Each structure stands twice: as structure tokens, then as C-alpha cells.
């Protein structure tokens, strides 16, 4: 048992050495706001950067981050062509509130729901908000835990690096 | 045995991968550490720990390569934090899995989390902060034979702490997205689903004949048209007596639950109306009474508050019986209007009310039979009521403000499992102001002032919080909760708490000192459900 465990770790380390490419999105299904489902690897922005932001209707800093970005989102899009994908981790307690909240808030984001945390676990997220930035090949090149006022400036700088 | 097989399985895939392929897979994961010191405080009833320091830690590792995935979680409780059950003890790898997908068929062996519909008949999930983890160990298959048709089935045993249940859980679920399946271009979208879950456990009761196989069914429907969305789910659980040796202890009645929601939204406006009725619907992984064995989820029909004093008296679903309704309204007053000002104003209204079933939950045995009326509100015992209004306004480029007013009624006896008539209903009125001020680029001060007025329970509270954040790396916060209205003068205490932290990319390190109450705790931009405590704390959260 112990031996197996050790050799597993050794193999993981060994195979990590040969990893050269960037991190990609895991193949996990999420729910769309109209009840359908989509594999997260299918999100697309024609080679422009994508921001993935995990949030919940009960999370204050998450809503603050997404509301703040919403105010400048059009400018960001004009400047960099970025697309923001907001993934709600609301479970069946508050899932019904996601679409009304998003619509009422006037968000222009692509919004999906991860009701039992499948994508959250696959992407190694323990707390929300958690934001990822993807490059033209949909590889994760930057990530940030939490949100405090002003964090959107750093995110924009990172997006600009990719856009130019 | 299964452990060994899984490891060998993972191992051989990894070895194959590293030897034979140029295009290697990816390894990612996350690490969490929660360390806490415990000092005795007789007044608030906090106990010192013999170990002085207690520590919980987790490491998740996920390996993926194309459509293959494998992973494990190492958990360490040396010893477990005080609000965790003593049964979380020592180190181990209680979670490991391997899965692959080919031509629409997904096969998972080992541990997995799964949910049928809204969870009324089955949900396995984890929440580290709450110490909840009822992962399954077994086999799961998911298959999509046609566009818009989703099938899944699973079998396994349900985890409680470091052990697995006696009962074997089997389940199957089918969902049809009618428009996708029939390639309809209709504006109205319809999704239907049907699930079944069954538990087998041998009957060794010497006195009563107990059902060895207990099934639960649920049917769900969603109809979506433009801004409208109706969703409903109805579940039945067949009779499942707990296996008592006395007739009175066994309830042979079937259980049932209904949840229903109607929402409408358009730009700037959204409304959600929900109801649910729950009757004798606790479903456990074995014939035990403890809540730790529950394998289904009846969503609580109230708003999940994050401000401390709004969440001081939180509601919880009474899975044995309750009737509830909830309404949410979201409205954004347009920019440039009289009330909207330069940036617009956001208003959120929420109302919820939960009461007992007429005469209690369904009951059936040789001595007693009871079937509650389907809907009965007037005259039934109130469990919980909450009316709250939130207004958010950006005043200028530097100042943002949130104001909340709420009235809550909290049935302390029922919601905390006390003897009826001990405390009665705690009526509270709550006001909150949350103002943030941007000093200069990256530097922000935020202040929260909260007030809760109540006669019952612990009486009135005040709370103040000041937070200073320097984006993107630092946060500092100090807060004081003061129970000035406690009827017992010796308990009119201050709960002071100091926190600071450092965030960089995928890492977050925070230290804190003070007395905390249990609840959802948000500081420095991160929300987490935390226990009550008195002492120092260190949290490290990292993902790779």
C-alpha cells in the first residue's frame, strides 16, 4: 500500500518533468442559463483573451468584482477583444436566482452554472472569487484568488499583455 | 482491495503516459491548510485544546490527459479543528479516482460526487469548511446516446468521516432536452428528467420486518421561454423505518418533497418566486438517525446572507417537514434618472417564510397514523421569516455604499433542536451600512456598521468592521461584535477579531487573532464558512 503510494508520487513527479506546455481547461460540463449543458472546453473567443471568473450570488466580493468590471467591460472589449465567462457555483438553493440576478445587473458576460462543484474541483478552487486568464490558445496563463478594490486594474494589465 | 486496484490503475496509466507519449498530460491541484490555536475563555464557553494547536490540511492532485483523468486527495487532521467531528482523525487518502470518456460514454471508478436533479433524492458533495464530505466510492457511468439525451447510473457506498456506509446506494437518472433531442426550433424550451435512487441494507432487526431495499424517485420539469423560466421537481421516498426495537420508534410512512420556482427577468429587472413542501424526506446511507449519514439535499428556501448580523440567526431546512415560500426581486434604476443618479442604483428585495406542516410530518405504524394537509399556512407554527431590502449605490468614482434593512423571525427551539417552549421565537430588526472609499489607485478603506435589535435570544448586537486593502497583495481588517443587549450583564461582551493577509497569484496566506462566531465569514475579498473559535489562526490556500 505504502509502496504503491510512493511509486505513484514518483511517477507523478517523473511525468511532470516532461510537461512543457501550458495549462489547459479540464473537460467538464457546466449548465447554461437556459437549462442546457456545455463542455467548458468549448468556450471560444476567436483567438482573443478569455477571463474565467468563479462567483456566487451569495458572495459579496465576487459580485463587487463582476459589477466593477461590468462598468468598464465595453471599454475592455474595444481595447483588447477580451471575453468574460462568469461561472456561478450556486447550488440548487440559489441556482434559480442566477439568471434574474445577471439580467437585472445588466451583465454582458457569458454565464454558466456549476451546481455540484465539478468544474470548481477540477480547477482546484477552494474559495470564490477566483479568476483565470486564458491566452489565444485557451491556455491558463494567469490566475488570482479573491478580490479587493483595484484588482481589476491588474487583470486589465495582464489582458493587455496578451492582446499585444 | 479497491484502493490497491485504483492505485495500480492510476499508476499504469501514468507510467504509460510518461514512457510512450510525447504529448504528456497535465497535473494540477490545490492545497489548503487551516491551523488554529485554542485558548480557554470561560465567559464565551471556549475550551482550550490539549494539543494547543489543531490543524486540518488537504491536497488535491488531478492528472488529466485528453479524455482521461485520475486524482486523489490527501487529508490530514492532526488533530481536527474543534468544530470538526472527532472521527476526522489522522492522515489518509480517502479520495481517489480514475475516469475516461470515449464516444459519449464516461466511466468513473473510485470516488466521485454526484447529484440527481436538485438533490431531493440524492446528493453527494463536499464542503471543507463545514466538515461535510459524503463522497461515493464505487462506479459511475454517464452516457449521451443522442443529442439532448443524458443518462447516468451509479453504484457505491457513501462516505462518513473515514468510513463507508453499510448501505449500498444505486441510482440512475435520465434527462431529455426536448428541443435538442427533436431538433425543434421552438422558442419554448422543455427539459424533463427522471431519477431513482435505492439503498440496500440487510435487515437484522430481531423484532420487525424492515424493508431491505428502500427506493426514492424524483421527476423534474423545466419550461423556458424568453425571460420566463418554470422549474419544478417532485420526489417520493418509500418507507424507511430507522430500525428501532419499539413500535413507536419506527415510522413506515412514505416521504415526499415538492419544489417549484418561477422566474422572470429582462435587462435591469428580475423576479423569482419559489415554494417548497417537505414531508418526512430525510434519506440516509444506512438506518441511522445521525445527520452525518444524510445522502439527499433539500435546499433551504431562504436567502443565504453574508453580513454577520444578518446571518446571526440562519435558517435551516427541517427535512422531516416544512412548508415555505420565497420571493426575490432584483431591480436596477437606470443611470441618469432622478433616483438612479449618474451611475444607477440597484435594489434587491427578498422575502421568505417557513412554517410547520399541519399536525407534523406523515406518520404510520401500528399505533399512529397521520397525513398532513397539502397546504396549510395560517395557524401553523412559524419556523422562520425574513424580509430584507438592499440598496447599492455608486456615489462617485471614490465612494460606493450598500444599505440593508431586515426583519427576521427565528424559531430557536425548532431550528436549534431545543425542547419546545424553551426560547420561542427570536424577533430581530437589522440595519447595515457598508461604505467603501478609494483613497488612491489600489488603496481602499471599507467600513461596515451593523446593528441587530432583539429581545429574545442573546439580545441586541452591534458590529463594526474596518478593512484596508492594497491591491493586489495586501489586506488588513479589524472587527468588533458587541453583545450589548444581552439580558445577562456578565455576557455583554466584545468579540474582537484582527486579520491580515497576503495574496499573490494562486497563493493566499492569512493570519488572524480573536474570537469568532460560526458562519460565513468574508474578509479581504474571500468568503468562507468558518467555525467559532478563540485564538490565533493561520490559513494557507494555494492552487497549481
Domains (range + CATH), chain A: 24-163 (3.40.30.10)
Which member of B265, B471, B526 has the closest CB to residue A104? B265
Q: Does B30 sit within 8 Å of A124, measured CB to CB?
A: yes
Which chain A residue has its CA at the smallest distance from B440's CA?
A150
- pLDDT tens column, A85-94: 999 999 999 9
CA distance A124 to chain B (A): 5
Q: Does B229 sit within 8 Å of A145, measured CB to CB?
A: no
Comparing A21-35, A74-88, B139-153, the range with the smallest average pLDDT is A21-35
Q: Does B472 sit within 8 Å of A154, measured CB to CB?
A: yes
- Cα(B337)–Cα(B334) distance, rounded to whole angstroms? 6
Answer whether B113's CB lies under 8 Å from B126's CB: yes
Suggest the residue from A61, A103, A115 to mutate for an interface test with chain B (most B CBs closer than 10 A).
Answer: A103
User: Of B246, B266, B253, B530, whose CA–CA distance to B369 is shortest?
Assistant: B253
How far from chain centre, in Å, is Cα B10?
Answer: 31
User: Of A87, A75, A82, A78, whose CA–CA distance to A116 is shortest?
Assistant: A87
- pLDDT tens column, B69-121: 999 999 999 999 987 888 999 999 999 999 999 999 999 999 999 999 999 99
User: How confident is the model at residue B528, as a pLDDT?
Assistant: 45
Which chain A residue has its CA at the smallest distance from B150's CA?
A37
Question: Is pLDDT of B127 > 90?
Answer: no
User: Of A140, A145, A125, whose CA–CA distance to B509 is shortest?
Assistant: A145
CA distance B43 to chain A (A): 32
* Portion 98-127 of A in contact with B at CB < 8 A: 99-106, 115-118, 121-127
Q: In sequence order, what DSSP letters do the residues of B1-60 get, joined into one string?
A: -HHHHHHHHHHHHHHHHHHH-SS--EEEEEEEEEEEE---BTTTTBPPPTTSEEEEEEEE
CA distance B153 to chain A (A): 17
Q: Does A103 sit within 8 Å of B522, measured CB to CB?
A: no
In a 3-state reduction of DSSP, which class is residue B251? coil
Q: Does B229 sit within 8 Å of A8, measured CB to CB?
A: no
Answer whether B437's CB lies under 8 Å from B445's CB: yes
Chain B residues within an 8 Å CB radius of A94: 299, 304
CA distance B491 to chain A (A): 31
Q: How confident is the model at residue B430 (pLDDT cuts 50, 70, 90)?
A: very high
CA distance A32 to chain B (A): 12
- Cα(A151)–Cα(B37) distance, rounded to whole angstroms? 32
Suggest the residue from A59, A127, A133, A156 to mutate for an interface test with chain B (most B CBs closer than 10 A).
Answer: A127
Suggest the residue from A2, A4, A8 to mutate for an interface test with chain B (most B CBs closer than 10 A).
Answer: A8
- pLDDT tens column, B411-427: 999 988 889 988 899 99
* Portion 49-78 of A in contact with B at CB < 8 A: 57-62, 71
Chain B residues within an 8 Å CB radius of A61: 522, 525-527
Enter the C-alpha cell of residue B103. 464516444
- Cα(B512)–Cα(B333) distance, rounded to whole angstroms? 39
- B316 to each of B85, B216, B299, how far by Cα in Å? 20, 22, 9
- Across residues B403-408, what is the average pLDDT? 98
User: How confident is the model at residue B524, as a pLDDT?
Assistant: 42
Question: Is pLDDT of A50 > 50?
Answer: yes
Between CA B128 and CA B133, with CA B130 as vertex, the angle to 5 degrees is 55
User: How confident is the model at residue B85, as a pLDDT?
Assistant: 82
ipTM value:
0.91
Q: How confident is the model at residue B3 (pLDDT cuts 50, 70, 90)?
A: low
User: How confident is the model at residue B444, as a pLDDT?
Assistant: 96
Mean pLDDT of chain B: 90
User: How confident is the model at residue B23, as a pLDDT?
Assistant: 66
Answer whether B114's CB lies under 8 Å from B135's CB: no
CB pairs under 8 A between A and B: 238
Enter the C-alpha cell of residue A150. 483595484
Suggest the residue from A2, A92, A147 to mutate for an interface test with chain B (most B CBs closer than 10 A).
Answer: A92
A32 touches B: beta carbon within 8 Å: no
Q: Does B524 sit within 8 Å of A116, measured CB to CB?
A: no
- Cα(A104)–Cα(B155) distance, rounded to whole angstroms? 41
How far from chain centre, in Å, is Cα A128?
Answer: 10
Cα dihedral: B131, B125, B197, B362 (round 10): 50
Domain boundaries in chain B? 113-257+275-297, 300-425
A13 touches B: beta carbon within 8 Å: no
Neighbours of B14 (CB within 10 A): 23
- Cα(A120)–Cα(B489) distance, rounded to whole angstroms? 46
Q: Does B126 sit within 8 Å of A145, measured CB to CB?
A: no
Which member of A103, A145, A149 has the closest CB to residue B471? A149
Cα dihedral: B159, B298, B269, A51 (round 10): 0
User: How confident is the model at residue B393, as a pLDDT?
Assistant: 93
DSSP3 helix / strand / coil % (chain B, rounded to 5): 5, 55, 40
Answer whether B199's CB lies under 8 Å from B174's CB: no
Question: Is pLDDT of A2 > 60?
Answer: no
CA distance A93 to chain B (A): 5
Q: Does B332 sit within 8 Å of A105, measured CB to CB?
A: yes
Percentage of chain B with pLDDT > 70?
A: 92
Question: Is pLDDT of B44 > 90?
Answer: no
Question: Is pLDDT of B272 > 90?
Answer: yes
Which chain B residue has its CA at the smallest distance from A23's CA?
B26
User: How confident is the model at residue A12, as a pLDDT?
Assistant: 54
Comparing B212-226, B452-466, B525-539, the range with the smallest average pLDDT is B525-539
User: How confident is the model at residue B185, as a pLDDT?
Assistant: 87
Question: Is pLDDT of A9 > 50?
Answer: yes
Chain B residues within an 8 Å CB radius of A151: 471-472, 525
Which member of A37, A104, A130 has the closest CB to residue B332? A104
pTM: 0.91
Suggest the residue from B400, B525, B540, B543 to mutate for an interface test with chain A (most A CBs closer than 10 A).
Answer: B525
Question: Is pLDDT of B21 > 50?
Answer: no
Burial B48-62 (b: 16+ CB within 10 A, else e): ebeeeebbbbbbbbb
Pick the residue with more confidence: B336 or A52?
Answer: A52
Chain B residues within an 8 Å CB radius of A129: 525-526
Comparing B124-133, B137-146, B244-253, B435-444, the range with the smallest average pLDDT is B124-133
Question: Is pLDDT of B1 > 80?
Answer: no
Amino acid at each position: 500500500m505504502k509502496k504503491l503510494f510512493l511509486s505513484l508520487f514518483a511517477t507523478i513527479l517523473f511525468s511532470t518533468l516532461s510537461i512543457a506546455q501550458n495549462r489547459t481547461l479540464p473537460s467538464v460540463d457546466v449548465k447554461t442559463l437556459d437549462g442546457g449543458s456545455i463542455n467548458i472546453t468549448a468556450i471560444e473567443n476567436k483567438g482573443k483573451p478569455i477571463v474565467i471568473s468563479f462567483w456566487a450570488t451569495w458572495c459579496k466580493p465576487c459580485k463587487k468584482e463582476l459589477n466593477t468590471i461590468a462598468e468598464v467591460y465595453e471599454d475592455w472589449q474595444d481595447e483588447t477583444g477580451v471575453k468574460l465567462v462568469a461561472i456561478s457555483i450556486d447550488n440548487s438553493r440559489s441556482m434559480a436566482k442566477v439568471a434574474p440576478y445577471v439580467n437585472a445587473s445588466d451583465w454582458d458576460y457569458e454565464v454558466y452554472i456549476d451546481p455540484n462543484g465539478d468544474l470548481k474541483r477540477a480547477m482546484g478552487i477552494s474559495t470564490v472569487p477566483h479568476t483565470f486568464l486564458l491566452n489565444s490558445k485557451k491556455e491558463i496563463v494567469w490566475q488570482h484568488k479573491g478580490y479587493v478594490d483595484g484588482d481589476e486594474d491588474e487583470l486589465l494589465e495582464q489582458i493587455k499583455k496578451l492582446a499585444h | 482491495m479497491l484502493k490497491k486496484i485504483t492505485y495500480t490503475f492510476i499508476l499504469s496509466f501514468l507510467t504509460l503516459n510518461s514512457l510512450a507519449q510525447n504529448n504528456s498530460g497535465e497535473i494540477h491541484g490545490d492545497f489548503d491548510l487551516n491551523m488554529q490555536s485554542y485558548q480557554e475563555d470561560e465567559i464565551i464557553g471556549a475550551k482550550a485544546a490539549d494539543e494547543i494547536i489543531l490543524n486540518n490540511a488537504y491536497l488535491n492532485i488531478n492528472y488529466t490527459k485528453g479524455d482521461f483523468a485520475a486524482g486523489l486527495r490527501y487529508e490530514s487532521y492532526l488533530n481536527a479543528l474543534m468544530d470538526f467531528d472527532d472521527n476526522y482523525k489522522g492522515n489518509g487518502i480517502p479520495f481517489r479516482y480514475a475516469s475516461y470518456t470515449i464516444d459519449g460514454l464516461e466511466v468513473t471508478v473510485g470516488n466521485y460526487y454526484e447529484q440527481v436533479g436538485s438533490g431531493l433524492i440524492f446528493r453527494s458533495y463536499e464542503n471543507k469548511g463545514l466538515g461535510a464530505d459524503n463522497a461515493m466510492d464505487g462506479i459511475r457511468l454517464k452516457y449521451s446516446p443522442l443529442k439532448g439525451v443524458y443518462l447516468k447510473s451509479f453504484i457505491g457506498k457513501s462516505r462518513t468521516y473515514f468510513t463507508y456506509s453499510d448501505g449500498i446506494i444505486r441510482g440512475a437518472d435520465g434527462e431529455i432536452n426536448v428541443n435538442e433531442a427533436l431538433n425543434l426550433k421552438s422558442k419554448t424550451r422543455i427539459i424533463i428528467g427522471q431519477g431513482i435512487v435505492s439503498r440496500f441494507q440487510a435487515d437484522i432487526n430481531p423484532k420487525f420486518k424492515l424493508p431491505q431495499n428502500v427506493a426514492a424517485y424524483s421527476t423534474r420539469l423545466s419550461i423556458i421561454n424568453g425571460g420566463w423560466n418554470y422549474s419544478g421537481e417532485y420526489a417520493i421516498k418509500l418507507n424507511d423505518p430507522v430500525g428501532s426495537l419499539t413500535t413507536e420508534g419506527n415510522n413506515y410512512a412514505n416521504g415526499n418533497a415538492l419544489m417549484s420556482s418561477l422566474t422572470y427577468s429582462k435587462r435591469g429587472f428580475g423576479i423569482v418566486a419559489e415554494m417548497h413542501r417537505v414531508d418526512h424526506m430525510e434519506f440516509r446511507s444506512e438506518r441511522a438517525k445521525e445527520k452525518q449519514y444524510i445522502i439527499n439535499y433539500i435546499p433551504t428556501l431562504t436567502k443565504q446572507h453574508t453580513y454577520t448580523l444578518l446571518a446571526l440567526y440562519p435558517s435551516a431546512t427541517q427535512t422531516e417537514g416544512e412548508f415555505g415560500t420565497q420571493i426575490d426581486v432584483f431591480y436596477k434604476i437606470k443611470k441618469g434618472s432622478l433616483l438612479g443618479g449618474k451611475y444607477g442604483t440597484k435594489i434587491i428585495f427578498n422575502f421568505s417564510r417557513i412554517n410547520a406542516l399541519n399536525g407534523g410530518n406523515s406518520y404510520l405504524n401500528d399505533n399512529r397514523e397521520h397525513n398532513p394537509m397539502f397546504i396549510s399556512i395560517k395557524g401553523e407554527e412559524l419556523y422562520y421569516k425574513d424580509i430584507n431590502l438592499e440598496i447599492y449605490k455608486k456615489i462617485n468614482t471614490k465612494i460606493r455604499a450598500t444599505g440593508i434593512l431586515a426583519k427576521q423571525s427565528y424559531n430557536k427551539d425548532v431550528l436549534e433542536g431545543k425542547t419546545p417552549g424553551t426560547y420561542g421565537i427570536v424577533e430581530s430588526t437589522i440595519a447595515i451600512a457598508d461604505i467603501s472609499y478609494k483613497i488612491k489607485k489600489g488603496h481602499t478603506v471599507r467600513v461596515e456598521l451593523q446593528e441587530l435589535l432583539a429581545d429574545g435570544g442573546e439580545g441586541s448586537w452591534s458590529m463594526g468592521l474596518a478593512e484596508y486593502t492594497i491591491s493586489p497583495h495586501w489586506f488588513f481588517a479589524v472587527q468588533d461584535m458587541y453583545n450589548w443587549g444581552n439580558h445577562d450583564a456578565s455576557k455583554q461582551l466584545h468579540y474582537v477579531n484582527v486579520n491580515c493577509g497576503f495574496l499573490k497569484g494562486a497563493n493566499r496566506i492569512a493570519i488572524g487573532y480573536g474570537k469568532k462566531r460560526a458562519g460565513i465569514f468574508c474578509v479581504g475579498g474571500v468568503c468562507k464558512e468558518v467555525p467559532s473559535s478563540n485564538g490565533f489562526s493561520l490559513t494557507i490556500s494555494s492552487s497549481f
